[in-house]
Structure 1
Amino acid sequence: MAARFGFRSGVIAAVVAIASVGVGPASAQDGFPFGLEMTLDAPPQPGSKRVPSLDVGDSGEARLELWCKGGKGQFSVAGNTIIFAAGPLEDRACPPETAKADDDLLAALSAVTTWTRQGDEISFVGPTTLRFHLNTN
């Protein structure tokens, strides 16, 4: 339990440190897409039409809709460095394989360290690269 608390404290300290460097939201054209929604570049799970999406607010607060689960989180961005801290997810009685896919995606998103943008494509880079497309319609 103490190790878990220490890890959370470290994540919170890192988020605060990045947020305190004075980097505010950039415009959606030249920086991180604050205030916009994006969809994961991935197929739906078998038997579903849903594809994970992120709705990122102007201050980095995020609403996640995964293949089955949903929840909130927080992005902290400084230059091309990024930290994502997930909040609790809603348990929606997901099938086991879909719940695992959601958990794996959340773990990959929580492990990202940098991000890049090319037009309407946002890539979150960590041990796994996650590509999202801005919803521009």
Structure 2
Amino acid sequence: MTLDAESQPGSKRLPTLEIGDDGEATLELWCKGGKGRFSVAGNTVIFVAGPLEDRACPPARAQADDELVAALSEAATWRRQGDFVSFIGNKSLRFRLNTN
């Protein structure tokens, strides 16, 4: 899935999230990358982030990555509408399913 957002200044990269059948997640953010785990029961979701690889990110991108991981960690529910999956908590995050 790819985050439905604008790219960061100076970069065309958008965060992606890949969730395996066992709940293991791989995150490639604006700059950082890492793993985590999703647990889903009905429309309830819990995300636990693992350590993120620090790739000498510019401060603005590193902060955006940290905020994105925090928002995923705070998400309590999720829903799918067509090719979009939303994680809903204090901040809603919308991802487009990669269909290619």
User: Does TM-score exceed 0.5, indicating one fold?
Assistant: yes
Other-structure match for 2:32: 69
Other-structure match for 2:18: 55
Other-structure match for 1:92: 55
Other-structure match for 2:41: 78
Residue 87 (structure 2) aligned to one of 113, 124, 133: 124
Higher relative contact order (CA 8 A, sep 6+): 2
Over the aligned positions, Cα root-mean-square deviation in angstroms equals 0.4
Alignment of 1:20-59 (within 5 A): 38-59=1-22
What is the one-letter code of the residue matched to 1:133? R
**How far did residue 69 of structure 1 move?**
0.1
Identity %: 73
Distance in 2, Cα, partners of 1:101 & 1:54: 15
Other-structure match for 1:5: none
What is the one-letter code of the residue matched to 1:44? S
Other-structure match for 1:17: none
Unaligned segments of structure 1, at least 5 residues: 1-37
What is the one-letter code of the residue matched to 2:17? L
What is the one-letter code of the residue matched to 2:3? L
The alignment's TM-score, normalised by the length of structure 2, stands at 0.99
Distance in 2, Cα, partners of 1:117 & 1:70: 24
Looking at CA atoms only, which structure, 1 or 2, has the larger radius of gyration? 1
* Residue aligned with 2:9, SS: coil
Distance in 2, Cα, partners of 1:97 & 1:65: 16
